[in-house]
Structure 1
Amino acid sequence: MTTAVPYRVTTPRVLRSEWHKFWTLRSTWITLAVASALVLAVGVTMGSTYDGDDSEVDTVVFVLLGTQLSQICVAVLGILVTASEYSTGVIRASLTAVPRRLPVLWSKAGVFAAVAFALSFVTNVVTFLVAQIWLSDSDKATSLTDTGVLGALAGNAAGITLMSLIALGLGGLLRSVPAAIGAFVGGVMILPEILGMLPYDAVDRAVNYFPTQSAESLGSATRLPDAVSPGMGLLSLALWAAVVLTASALFLRRRDV
């Protein structure tokens, strides 16, 4: 007589489960499609209407202005990945299947980060190449092989991904879609702008290390004035994401569902 092998919770299995949950939601497809479409549409518009007025703006920054809009879409999706399970009650099934709890959060973050970065990077490259159809005869004629261009396209995608991981962490921390969206928009996007208006040099320097400002330093082929270096911006943004995700993990372990 053979003994049945008990079901074991392993990292690959949890990742596969979260992958399937992520792609079976209609909101995932719609949000990602809208995010990509916004970047491409704005990039085409900027390229096709360029008349030389913004010659001082970095070319990558210029053609990827649409990422300011897509960032909100991807961040909202990150919030839905965690917070929506609490509103629907699906989180109970997830945590029953994975009693240790934390693998669920790390798997959600891993799946989401991989998809967000891949989609953002591909969208950035396509938008850049399409925009160059109109910009090839202007002072913004640039190729992927030019110094800093590919790094800026990847940096922009990394910035969007890490910013959205902060949103994902807020969703797990607050367990409410509206509250997490409000915290992200108000605390991550608006608060630094308000602080930047204060007449204090120390505050100005500190604001450069806030998430939005750190992300901006990653998406330019040339160093932005008064901004931190891309390396420091990446480190700062990664630390912000790590802090929020760690706080979410602590709440997940200590609070009842």
Structure 2
Amino acid sequence: MTTATTPSPYRVTPRHVLRSEWHKLWSLRSTWVTLLSAAAVVLGVGLLMGATYTSDGGDSDVDTVVLVLYGTLLGQLCVTVLGILVTAGEYPTGMIRASLTVVPRRLPVLWSKAAVFTVAAFGSMFATALITFLAAQLLLRDTDQAAGLTDPGVLGAIAGNAAGITLLSLIALGLGAALRSVPGSIGAYIGGVLIVPEVLGMLPYDAVDSALKYFPTQAAGALGSATPIPGTAATGPALLALCLWAGASLGTAAVLLRRRDA
């Protein structure tokens, strides 16, 4: 006589790992602080740009979405720091050992962290960009920068802005998982992603200028404009380049996670 057994509700499955990482992400104070800080910076700068803009001020050639989302340049730093904290932040506390003990295959933990972070970062930044654009347009309605969501390229640029921040932050998340140090990962991100392209841009070679269009920050900038920006990559190639950078960062982290002790 055999006895039927029911699957344990506590066994490790991809769904359970995802749910665990989702609860872990939103239970951290740093998640709320960094995302709210990013939203406040983007919204604050957007309202400032809208309130101080005049049609004869010399910025009439700036893309409308770029103009009101200037705060993204600062807001993305908050989100990238969160990406680093999601992975590297667990090593000093020892939390990562508990996670990898429960999920000995290891990689599902990394993929789940990346997945829940992507949803949180893109959702919050898209909502922030959308609210900022609409609020700034209330101040710009009588200027030459007045625009609506139904204007060509506007909604796509708002979504592209959020996608750019998210993918840059996934690069940071991968660095955090690979380096296992919050200060080291922040330094690597600032040096490798922000400073190196600026240094390379000083070289007097056309090939370097062409390659720089597909570096992370330059590619992200191309996604957030409703109209093509001279000297930047087209939207499709820029998005592909950013995805490849993020994939390379996460792939490196995955290889190191499999080979090293927790």
Which bin holds the TM-score, normalised by the shorter protein?
over 0.9
2:173 alignment counterpart:
168
2:241 alignment counterpart:
236
2:215 pairs with one of 190, 194, 210: 210
Q: Which amino acid in 1 is paired with 2:219? A: S
In structure 2, how many angstroms separate the alpha carbons of the residues matched to 1:218 and 1:57?
Answer: 15
In structure 1, how many angstroms separate the alpha carbons of the residues matched to 2:174 and 2:256?
Answer: 11
1:41 alignment counterpart:
44
| Displacement of 1:5 | 4.6
Q: Using a 3 Å threshold, how does the CA distance of structure 1 residues 151 and 4 change in structure 2: closer, same or farther?
A: closer
In structure 2, how many angstroms separate the alpha carbons of the residues matched to 1:233 and 1:3?
Answer: 52
In structure 2, how many angstroms separate the alpha carbons of the residues matched to 1:97 and 1:76?
Answer: 26
In structure 1, how many angstroms separate the alpha carbons of the residues matched to 2:228 and 2:161?
Answer: 13
| Displacement of 1:193 | 1.0
Runs of 4+ with >2 A deviation? 1-8
Matches within 5 A, 1:102-181: 102-181=107-186
| Displacement of 1:94 | 0.1
In structure 2, how many angstroms separate the alpha carbons of the residues matched to 1:3 and 1:130?
Answer: 57
Match status 1:72 vs 2:77:
yes
2:225 alignment counterpart:
220
| Paired-residue identity, % | 65
2:187 alignment counterpart:
182
Structure 2 runs not aligned, ≥5 long: none
1:57 alignment counterpart:
62
1:17 alignment counterpart:
20
Q: Which amino acid in 2 is paired with 1:116? A: A
| Displacement of 1:8 | 2.2
Q: Which amino acid in 1 is paired with 2:112? A: S
Match status 1:250 vs 2:255:
yes
Q: Which amino acid in 2 is paired with 1:82? A: T
Q: Which amino acid in 1 is paired with 2:218? A: Q
In structure 2, how many angstroms separate the alpha carbons of the residues matched to 1:111 and 1:177?
Answer: 20
In structure 1, how many angstroms separate the alpha carbons of the residues matched to 2:4 and 2:107?
Answer: 33
Moved more, 15-24 or 48-57: 48-57
| Displacement of 1:72 | 0.3
| Displacement of 1:10 | 0.6
Q: Which amino acid in 1 is paired with 2:51? A: S
Q: Which amino acid in 2 is paired with 1:25? A: L
Q: Which amino acid in 2 is paired with 1:146? A: D
In structure 1, how many angstroms separate the alpha carbons of the residues matched to 2:54 and 2:210?
Answer: 34
In structure 1, how many angstroms separate the alpha carbons of the residues matched to 2:4 and 2:164?
Answer: 52
When the two structures are superposed, what TM-score results if normalisation uses the length of structure 1?
Answer: 0.98
Root-mean-square deviation over aligned CA pairs: 1.1
In structure 2, how many angstroms separate the alpha carbons of the residues matched to 1:225 and 1:157?
Answer: 21
1:27 alignment counterpart:
30
Q: Which amino acid in 2 is paired with 1:220? A: S
Deviation string 1:89-148 (CA, Å, 9 cap, x unpaired) is 100000000010000000000000001001111100100000011100000000000000
Q: Using a 3 Å threshold, how does the CA distance of structure 1 residues 4 and 220 change in structure 2: closer, same or farther?
A: closer
Moved more, 222-231 or 7-16: 7-16
